[in-house]
Amino acid sequence: MKKVLIPTKLDAQASRILSERGYEVVQEPKTPILDLAKAHPDAHALIVRSEKVTAEVIDALPSLKAVVRAGAGFDNIDGKYARAKGIDVMNTPGANSNAVAEEVVALILADIRHVVRADETTRRGEWEKAKLMGRELTGKTVGIVGLGHIGRLVAKRISGFECRVLGYDPLVPPQKAKEFGIEPADVETIFRESDFITLHIPQNAETKGFVGKKLLALMKNDATLVNCARAGIVDEDAIREAKGLKAIRFLNDVYPKDAEGPKSVADIADLMMPHLGASTVEANRNAAIRAAEELADLDEKGISPFVVNRDVPAGLDASFRDLAFTLARLSRAMLGEGKSVSSIEVSCYGKLEPFAKWLSIAILNGIWDDIDRSSDFKTVVADLESRGVSFKVREADASKKYESSMTVDVSAGSAKASVRGTVGEGVQMVARIDEFNHLYWAPTPNAVFFEYEDRPGVIGAIGEALHQADVNIEDMRNPHNPATGRSLALLSVNKPVPAAVVSGIASRIAAQRAGALAF
């Protein structure tokens, strides 16, 4: 029985799920993580929140195979050392998104309506009504830097205040941003025109000190900056200097270290919270469920799209290797069962172009399970050619202006399937399947697809059939192509759909293509 250590106050759902799947769970939130590790050197996995997983902790666990961060950020884990020890590190992106988005709105409202000071003074018997004149959020301009899960939810939550919402994210196409009710803008425009600016970008070498003197100088005299992302993305000294020149506000919930003690931003933050962004009952439960399920899936299936420390070339995000595998699996499924692949063509755009050959191994592994990801590119291609399969890495067409995305085309004679995707905040996103563009579908463990002649009633028929099979639809994409008269129903579901159910639906709606997907 595999042992899992949980040295944190994580929702009991994690322990329940893992216990039901045959794990021994030891959850001791009051025991320091190093002490817990030394007491259980046979532990197979760790699930943590903000606890530091250092080299010393890892060395105390010689049987450790996985560390799961129940949350999005994972800089509290020594991922490089873990990789050197053959340990996978995973996170749960999106589990805390709504909690953080709501916190952003709460901070803004609390600040402009003087909630904290009003409570304190009124409790003392004072009546500072005249001094506490506030401002309204309605009708203001809100700028969002980073349009991942959290950024998009902030836009959605803020929409009820009838704000103009500006957004920037190099991975999100302008048309997609508009679908979220966001006006695409560059960073400079956001800082120049926004009344409130909220940051939702990761902290890395490129974003350290992202908000510095140049951007702060563009802010309106009474504008507000909100940071519920990571402490290092703002230059504290630059904010200190800017606040000496203009009446900008700074609302903060993140720090270099989550611990008691003086905070370096205490003199410049107008409102501070002790990193409460993900601290809701719901977020804790979501993260717990995701962490448990990811660990079990990693052990049972051998792969996970949420491993963040895979051994990849310098300069390449590990998420893109998993994306390559996913796109290949999807394109193979779209091609149809029983068809022999005759050719494969791959295009890698933007920052991925230098890694095209390296990523190709993961693509080929997604099509053929017997291809080892550690294999040499030339050896694998030569082996494919001996099987009569041609493989080509195409020169990327820069005029398409795709940023960090890849396209996988798989053919079997005249039949062809083409899929394009990218990664945002560690989350895979399928942008196109064949003629159906602008999908922006995040692959889930189980899904089904049906391509059919567009007409009324088809989606209802699919939904009813899945209902009869006790399958719940969790997400759906249903693009149409007026030029061909075809539609694609791509549905994320809560469990595997039996082949008989898929074929039954396909027959009922006269589907041209149909299949089940498992990632």
Q: What is the 3-state secondary structure (H, E, C) of 194-235?
A: CCEEEECCCCCCCCCCCECHHHHHHCCCCCEEEECCCHHHEC
Domain CATH for 450: 3.30.70.260
Q: Which residues, in sequence order, are CB contacts of 119 under 8 Å at separation 6+?
A: none
Report the C-alpha gap between 347 and 325 in whole angstroms.
14
Instruction: Write down which residue in 411, 426, 441 finishes a domain.
Output: 441
Which pair of structure tokens corresponds to residue 350? 């933007």
Q: How far is CA 481 from CA 22, 434, 443, 451, in A?
A: 47, 11, 22, 11
Q: Is residue 166 situated within a structural domain?
A: yes
Q: Would you say residue 277 lies in a domain? A: no
Last residue of a domain, one of 441, 460, 494: 441
pLDDT at position 495: 92
Which DSSP category does 374 fall into? T
> Where a domain ends, among 441, 472, 489?
441
Same domain for 388 and 244?
no
Q: Provide the strand spans (E) within 260-396.
A: 271-272, 343-348, 390-393
Residues 316 and 399 both lie in one domain: yes
- The answer on 19 and 149 residing in a single domain is no
CATH, residue 424: 3.30.1330.90
Q: Both 465 and 453 in a single domain? A: yes
Provide the edge-to-edge strand list for the sheet that holds 405-412: 390-393, 343-348, 405-412, 415-424, 427-433
Answer yes or no: do 248 and 349 share one domain: no
pLDDT at 375: 58
**Residue 364 CA neighbour count, 13 Å, CB half:** 31
Q: Is residue 306 part of a domain?
A: no
The Cα diameter of the chain in Å comes to 86
**Nearest CA-CA partner of 431 in 165, 175, 81:** 175
Task: Establish how many alpha carbons lie within 13 A of residue 92's alpha carbon, considering only the half-sphere containing its beta carbon.
Answer: 26
Residues 335 and 411 placed together within one structural domain of the fold: yes
Q: How far apart are CA 21 and CA 418, in angstroms?
A: 37
Dihedral sign for Cα atoms in the order 276, 132, 223, 212: negative
Same-domain check for residues 81 and 119 = no
Q: Which two tokens stand for residue 243?
A: 């606040």
Which residues are paired to 393 by β-bridges?
346
The pair of three-digit structure tokens given for residue 314, joined into one six-digit string? 């310098």
The owner of tokens 């995305």 is 405
Same domain, yes or no: 134 and 64: no
Best CA proximity match to 330, nearest among 160, 137, 513, 152? 513
CA distance 342 to 414: 9
Distances, alpha carbon 134 to alpha carbons 105, 115, 140, in Å: 15, 10, 14
**Tens digit of pLDDT per residue, the chain (519 long)?**
899 999 999 999 999 999 999 999 999 999 999 999 999 999 999 999 989 999 999 999 999 999 999 987 788 899 889 988 889 999 887 788 899 999 999 999 999 999 999 999 999 999 999 999 999 999 999 999 998 889 999 999 999 999 999 999 876 778 878 988 999 999 999 999 999 999 998 887 778 899 999 999 999 999 999 999 999 999 999 999 999 999 999 999 999 988 899 999 999 999 999 999 988 999 999 999 999 999 998 888 765 667 877 666 767 887 888 899 999 999 989 988 777 888 999 999 988 988 888 888 888 888 876 675 555 677 778 777 767 888 899 988 878 778 889 999 999 888 899 999 999 877 899 999 999 998 889 998 899 999 999 999 999 999 999 999 999 999 999 999 999 999 999 999 999 999 999 999 999 999 999 999 887
If phi over 0 gives left and psi between -120 and 50 gives alpha, with beta otherwise, what is residue 468? alpha
- The answer on 209 and 108 residing in a single domain is yes
- Count the residues in the chain: 519
Sequence-distant (≥ 6) Cβ neighbours of residue 327 within 8 angstroms: 363, 366, 406, 407, 408, 419, 420, 421, 430
Domain count for the chain: 4
**What's the domain range around 349?**
311-441
Q: Is residue 47 part of a domain?
A: yes
Whether 161 is covered by a domain: the verdict is yes
Q: Is residue 396 part of a domain?
A: yes
Coil, helix or strand for 382? helix
140 in a structural domain: yes
User: 497, 448 in Cβ contact below 8 A?
Assistant: yes
Task: Please state, in angstroms and rounded to a whole number, the distance separating the CA atoms of residues 253 and 158.
Answer: 19
Claim to verify: residue 268 and residue 345 sit in the same structural domain: no
Same domain, 436 and 468: no
- Is 141 within a domain? yes
15 & 31 share domain: yes
CATH code of 138's domain: 3.40.50.720
Is 112 within 8 Å of 328 (Cβ atoms)? no
Contacts of 41 (CB under 8 A, 6+ apart): 60, 61, 62, 63
| DSSP alpha helix (H) spans, 371-481 | 377-386, 458-468
